Amino acid sequence: MNLTNLPISISDEVQSALKDNLPIVALESTIISHGMSYPFNVRLSEEVEKIIRHHGAVPATIAIINGVIKIGLSEEEVEFIATDRSVKKTSKREIPLLLANKGCGSTTVSATIFCAALIGIKVFVTGGIGGVHKDAQYTFDISSDLTELSNYNIAVICAGAKSILDIGLTLEKLETLSVPVIGYKTDEFPAFYSRESGFGVDINAESVEKVAMIMKYKWDLGINGGIVVGCPIPRQDEIPAEEMAGYIKKAVKEAEKESIKGKYLTPFMLQEIHTHTRGKSIDANISLIKNNALIGSKIAIKYCELTATKCIV
């Protein structure tokens, strides 16, 4: 794809990494704009980028600012995303609308996958992927994250799917889309706040080398599409699944009472869970994202060591 005439701006740091085939880790920006309050959102963004750099990779936080896709944000741009209320939560389907309207948006998982893949980034770190919502057989509420995972060659490092989702059906959908699900040092797919979900993975990868080998073999064979790498939240920070079930049940009842549906459901549920856990869920969220950043950096480094092909914009 020729990107020359498209409104895309790549930071000097990311440009240099692409040229020299250095490991790059893509990061979403929705957690900055809608995930938590200021200034904690900025602080977390800085800490995650610091973890990635410390372990030898290059962070590439992605957002849309004034109709331009920005890959690699400056401190000023992160501050803007964190504080300006005009910034819209943006999925892939909304990207051309924002570009045409010179708008500003924070990228969700689906949008970040698309933007990262545009320039050949192979590793993306997030908190948790979207998926199939409960009662989806009636609502047809299935996150576009899953579709985009099947469209682009990228490994998404996450703490599983958000526990408010139907994890079993989410895994079934990923199988239908031919997206492999890897457990990083686990036989069980993690459930975001909880280490266990009751559902298995396709393979337990005991090392970052094994994950990188799977990535390389998959794409070298011409088997297009992404890979999900589920990394359990650090044990000391998890909220056990049985405890989370009670909080989710309360949040569901409140959502039904308020008639919250569609794209507003997930942020509403997460806010309700935050309230019911008295902030414990936010601490867990921060812990799992930092853990994913550490693991994602190591995977990106190992993948770069296994491949001699340079990323060319």
Catalytic residues: 28, 162
Omega cis (within 30) before 232: no
The residue to which tokens 């008639």 are assigned: 259
User: Distance from first CA to last CA of the chain, Å, rounded?
Assistant: 9
Q: What is d(CA 171, CA 175) in angstroms, rounded to the nearest whole number?
A: 6
List the Cα angle 162/167/172 in 5-degree steps.
135
Taking alpha carbons only, the member of 160, 158, 170, 165 closest to residue 113 is 158
Instruction: Go through 256-282 and write b for each residue having 16 or more CB atoms within 10 A of its CB, e for each that does not.
Output: eeeebeeeebbebbbebbbebbeebbb
Reported as type and span, the H/E element at residue 112 is helix 109-118
